[in-house]
């Protein structure tokens, strides 16, 4: 019995040395969520408001169910880390990976829908006609997002969806799902289906996506 006990302790010790304690003493979730909330309030709430509900014309809601459902942790962390160039969203790389991850965990704690990020990211790339996409964009999207997709910076009520810092991080599936289903309790309505503001076809939505991609290159 004595030998067996010391054998177990010895194996545990070797595992600790081999892996540096990784996975053996992880930060408890409640502590991470508390830290994430504190960091959010210190760095993000001034624009995104308490509980990350956002404010039209200032900053989007980060607790929106549809947003959290289709956003990967990688996308959220990269956005916090790098910010959005030419917008009021500054980079927060100085917080460090651990603290940025805590903020994302806090945002995730508000999720109400299943996480579909992997499924959405695996959708095929859009193929369409950017000329037709521009027509649809100007007719439907520019009212809120601005003619050049500058969003708030152009006086619009929508986000800067033409911003390269955004377009370089999101998949076509992310944009496609957002156009199709919109964002509940925001001014971003659905644009497909009977309840949509406009019943766009899949091809017309892809036309818009292809056009948006051209804005990132300007």
Give tens-digit pLDDT for 64-100.
Answer: 999 999 999 999 999 999 999 989 999 999 999 999 9
Q: What is the DSSP letter of 140?
A: I
**What does the pLDDT read at residue 164?**
95
Taking residues 39-45, report their average pLDDT: 97
More confident site: 21 or 201: 201
Domains defined for the chain, CATH in brackets? 29-116 (1.10.760.10), 119-215 (1.10.760.10)
Query: Closest by alpha carbon to 146, among 133, 136, 156?
Result: 156
Placement of tokens 């991470």 in the chain:
32
DSSP H helical segments within 44-171, as ranges?
A: 45-48, 65-70, 73-82, 97-108, 117-121, 130-136, 142-145, 164-167
- What proportion of the chain, given as a percentage, has pLDDT over 90? 73
pLDDT-based confidence at residue 198 (cuts at 50, 70, 90): confident
- Is the pLDDT at 18 greater than 70? The verdict is no
Mean pLDDT score of the chain: 87
Residues 6 or more apart whose Cβ sits within 8 Å of residue 159: 60, 145, 151, 152, 166
């Amino acid at each position: 019995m004595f030998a067996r006990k010391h054998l177990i302790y010895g194996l545990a010790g070797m595992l600790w040395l081999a892996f540096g304690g990784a996975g053996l003493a992880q930060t408890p979730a409640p502590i991470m969520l508390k830290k994430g909330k504190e960091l959010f309030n210190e760095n993000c709430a001034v624009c995104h408001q308490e509980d990350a509900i956002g404010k039209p014309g200032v900053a989007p809601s980060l607790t929106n169910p549809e947003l959290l459902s289709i956003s990967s942790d990688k996308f959220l962390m990269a956005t916090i880390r790098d910010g959005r160039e030419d917008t009021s969203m500054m980079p927060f790389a100085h917080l460090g990976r651990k603290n940025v991850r805590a903020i994302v965990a806090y945002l995730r704690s508000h999720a109400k829908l299943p996480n579909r990020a992997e499924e959405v990211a695996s959708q095929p790339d859009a193929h369409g006609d950017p000329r037709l996409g521009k027509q649809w964009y100007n007719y439907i999207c520019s009212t809120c997002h601005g003619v050049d997709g500058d969003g708030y910076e152009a006086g619009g009520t929508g986000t800067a969806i033409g911003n390269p810092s955004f377009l370089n991080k999101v998949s076509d599936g992310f944009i496609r799902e957002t156009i199709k289903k919109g964002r509940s309790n925001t001014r971003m309505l659905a644009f497909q289906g009977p309840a949509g503001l406009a019943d766009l076809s899949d091809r017309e939505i892809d036309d818009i996506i292809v056009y948006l991609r051209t804005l990132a290159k300007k």
